[in-house]
Amino acid sequence: MNEPSLPFDLDPDLRRRLGHRLIDLIDEYFAHLPQRPVQLPASQRSFEPLHNPLPETAADPEAVLEQVTRELIEKGFHVPSANYFGLMNPTPAYIAVLAETLVAALNPQLATMARSQLASKIEQETLRWIGERIGWGGAFDGSFTSGGNEANFSALALALAARFPHATEEGVASIGAQPVFYASAESHHSLDKSAGLLGIGRRALRRIPVHARLEMDLQRLETAIAADISAGRIPFAVVATAGTTNSGAIDDLEGTAAVCRQRKLWFHVDGAYGGAATFSDQHRNLLRGIEQADSVTIDPHKWLAMPFAAGVIITSQPEMLSRAFGIATPYMPKSAASLPVDNFKISAQWSRRANAFKLWLTLRIHGRQAYEQHINRQLALAQDFGRWLENSAHFELAAPVRLPILNGRVRLPGGEEKIAAAHLAVVEEVTRDGRRWISETKVAGRSVIRIMIVSYLTGEKQIAELQAAMTAAAVKVLGAKAAHSQPVR
Ligand SMILES: Cc1ncc(COP(=O)(O)O)c(C=O)c1O
Radius of gyration of the chain (CA): 25
| Backbone φ/ψ region at 340: left (φ over 0), alpha (ψ -120 to 50), beta | beta
Q: Is the CB of 313 under 6 A from ligand 1?
A: no
Contact by Cβ (8 Å): 241, 250: yes
Contact by Cβ (8 Å): 345, 325: yes
Quote the CA–CA distance of 35 and 397 in Å, as a whole number. Answer: 27
**Distance in Å, CA 299 to ligand 1 centroid:** 8
Predicted confidence at residue 263, as pLDDT, reads 98
Quote the CA–CA distance of 349 and 145 in Å, as a whole number. Answer: 8
Whether 3 shows a pLDDT value over 70: the answer reads: no
Q: Is the CB of 450 under 6 A from ligand 1?
A: no
**Cβ–Cβ contacts within 10 Å for residue 487, how many?**
7
Average pLDDT (414-441) is 97
What percentage of the chain carries pLDDT values higher than 70?
Answer: 94
Predicted confidence at residue 487, as pLDDT, reads 41
Q: Is the CB of 154 under 6 A from ligand 1?
A: no
**449 beta partners:** 408, 440
pLDDT digits (tens, 9 = 90+) for 327-356: 876 666 655 555 567 888 889 998 999 999
Helix, strand, coil shares, percent, the chain, to 5 = 45, 15, 40
Helix (H) or strand (E) holding 296: strand 295-298
Predicted confidence at residue 388, as pLDDT, reads 98
Backbone angles phi, psi at 366, to 5 degrees: -95, -30
Higher per-residue confidence, 68 vs 341: 68
**Distance in Å, CA 403 to ligand 1 centroid:** 15
Ligand 1 closest atom vs CA 147: 10
Backbone angles phi, psi at 441, to 5 degrees: -150, -175
Quote the CA–CA distance of 392 and 398 in Å, as a whole number. Answer: 12
Average pLDDT (18-45) is 96
Backbone angles phi, psi at 205, to 5 degrees: -85, 115
Whether 122 shows a pLDDT value over 70: the answer reads: yes
Q: Is the CB of 292 under 6 A from ligand 1?
A: no
**Distance in Å, CA 16 to ligand 1 centroid:** 38
**61 beta partners:** none
Whether 405 shows a pLDDT value over 90: the answer reads: yes
Q: Is the CB of 215 under 6 A from ligand 1?
A: no
Predicted confidence at residue 87, as pLDDT, reads 95
Angle at 154 between CA 95 and CA 124, to 5 degrees: 45
Q: Which CATH number fits domain 368-484: 3.40.50.150, 2.60.120.260, 3.40.50.740, 3.90.1150.10?
A: 3.90.1150.10
Residues 6 or more apart in contact with residue 264 via CB below 8 angstroms: none
Q: Is the CB of 273 under 6 A from ligand 1?
A: yes
Q: Is the CB of 443 under 6 A from ligand 1?
A: no
**Distance in Å, CA 77 to ligand 1 centroid:** 20
What percentage of the chain carries pLDDT values higher than 90?
Answer: 87
Whether 133 shows a pLDDT value over 60: the answer reads: yes
Quote the CA–CA distance of 461 and 82 in Å, as a whole number. Answer: 10
Residues 6 or more apart in contact with residue 169 via CB below 8 angstroms: none
- CATH 3.40.50.300 assigned to 103-366: no
pLDDT digits (tens, 9 = 90+) for 239-270: 999 999 999 999 999 999 999 999 999 999 99
Sign of CA dihedral 431, 434, 435, 439: positive
Which of 146, 188, 296, 313 for a ligand 1 pocket mutation test, highest count of atoms within 8 Å of Cβ?
188
> Band of the pLDDT at 485, cuts 50, 70, 90?
very low
Quote the CA–CA distance of 265 and 261 in Å, as a whole number. Answer: 7
Higher per-residue confidence, 486 vs 400: 400
Predicted confidence at residue 414, as pLDDT, reads 87
